Amino acid sequence: MISYFSFYRPVFMAQLLIAEFLFTCRLKKRKLFWLRYAASCILCLLFALFVPLYPNSALELSLIFIAMFSLTFALDIFVFDVPITELLMCLSAAYTVQHFAYCISNCLLLITGLNANVYGVYTEEVIVSGILPMNQAFGYIVTFTLYYLAYYLFYLFFGRRMRKNERMSLKNPSLFVISIIAIVFSVLVNAFVVFGTVNGELIIAVNLYNAVCCVFIIFVLFGTVSKIKTDNELSVVKGILKKAEEQYRISQSTIEIINIKCHDMKQQIRMIGEASSMNETAIAEISQAIAAYDCNVETGNKPLDVILTEKSEECNKNGIVFSCITDGRLLAFMKEAEIYSLFGNAIDNAIAAVLPLDKDKRSIGVNVGRVKDFVTVNVHNYFEGELRFGADGLPRTSKDDEVNHGYGLKSIRYIANKYDGNLSVEASGNLFNLNIIFPLKPSVPSPKG
């Protein structure tokens, strides 16, 4: 027993470290990462190899495995620059995947008789005796293959979902509970059932049950993470809409004041010119200067008028050609703040894309129209570089902080989905198109004919 467990401890530690790397490789790393990581792995393996820990009961066996896991957890705090909740979730998932591979390999080895001494079960008493060395060699090959496949598949379907350096903001205490359950289950249940058991059929049944439970735990862990991320994104999007509502009121009032002042100044200039016989050229130049602040857009929809007027002025100041063909009446079914937010975010993204371009490509177009039984919205602009699309089909933000940016398009998609619409983006050549299609609402007027 002692010789077997002395050999199995470093094998288990190596398996655990590989599984942990698959689920932590995308986390934010501290400086001198590879040096820190190499030192941590060496310490973990030395602990597993030389610390004289030998179990005399299932409880002691469980404590040993928990101690080895705790060591990797403590050292990973030294390696990765992430909150403890996120690190615990990733390591819990890794331990569960290792345990899944262990259970599956156990079942296959016992069923086929290819029992390799270091991989089968915890104690030498349950290892089937009389196996030929050739069978043992096949057992090693089968075990290695199963571990590789299990690790690869779990990474493919779960680990790869994590973005590089992504902050998951997992403040929900339920994740702590799930993570602890995952570890306790993986260690205690199998140890108490298998320790000292000689019934091969019972071991197979227990390992199959444990493997199914491991898959369930992984789904729960990543399902919880996905829900928390979705809730966080929804909270941010709602915050954006609330700010848009406040900004809309301010912009509406400001633009009305500017329009009134511009109109009055034009009348006053004309009167001054007539009274003093001012040169017509001088009057035209002054009127043109005022017109730069009088970019009023009328679409038949008040909030759309406000945002398009606001962005038209911004484009004018930055030398961007801004054109719009819009029937704002088609958007009467939407709330005012949502119209302001949707077009504000879309045009802001377009402005950011065209600002670095040459003057002949600094142009933005906005179209709102009706096609059969649908209301269509299109915002198009030129861009340079390569767009990276995420799993959600939206372009990834070009800013370094992906967690705190990139919510503009998510906000647009949220508004589109709210009204049963569909958002799509496409990049063809150097032209970017943002398209939204809404089903026609009963309140939408018929097109002019």
Q: What is the pLDDT of residue 330?
A: 92
Query: Is 393 strand, coil or helix?
Result: coil
Q: Is 430 left (phi over 0), alpha (psi -120 to 50) or beta?
A: alpha
Is there a contact between 381 and 364 (Cβ–Cβ < 8 Å)?
A: yes
Contacts of 73 (CB under 8 A, 6+ apart): 87, 88, 91
pLDDT digits (tens, 9 = 90+) for 74-109: 999 999 998 888 888 888 889 889 888 888 888 887
The whole-number pLDDT of residue 193 equals 62
Which residues pair with residue 425 across a beta bridge?
Answer: 434
Q: Which of 74, 75, 87 is nearest to 168 (CA)?
A: 87
**pLDDT of the residue at 124:** 44
Tell the residue number behind the tokens 């004018």, with chain if given: 316
Task: Tell me how far apart the alpha carbons of residues 321 and 366 are, in angstroms, rounded to a whole number.
Answer: 11
pTM of the full structure: 0.60
Q: Using CA atoms, how far apart are residues 385 and 355, in angstroms rounded to an integer?
A: 13
**Over the stretch 148-186, which tens digit does the pLDDT of each residue have?**
888 988 888 877 766 665 565 556 666 667 667 766 766
**Which is more confidently placed, 132 or 256?**
256
Report pLDDT digits (tens) over 16-36.
Answer: 999 999 989 888 899 999 999
* pLDDT tens string 56-78: 777 777 788 888 999 999 999 99
- β-pairing verdict for 321-326 and 363-371: parallel
Q: Is the pLDDT of residue 203 over 70?
A: yes
pLDDT tens sequence across 276-328: 555 666 556 555 555 544 455 678 888 888 888 888 888 888 899 999 888 98
Determine contact, residues 72/20, Cβ cutoff 8 Å: yes
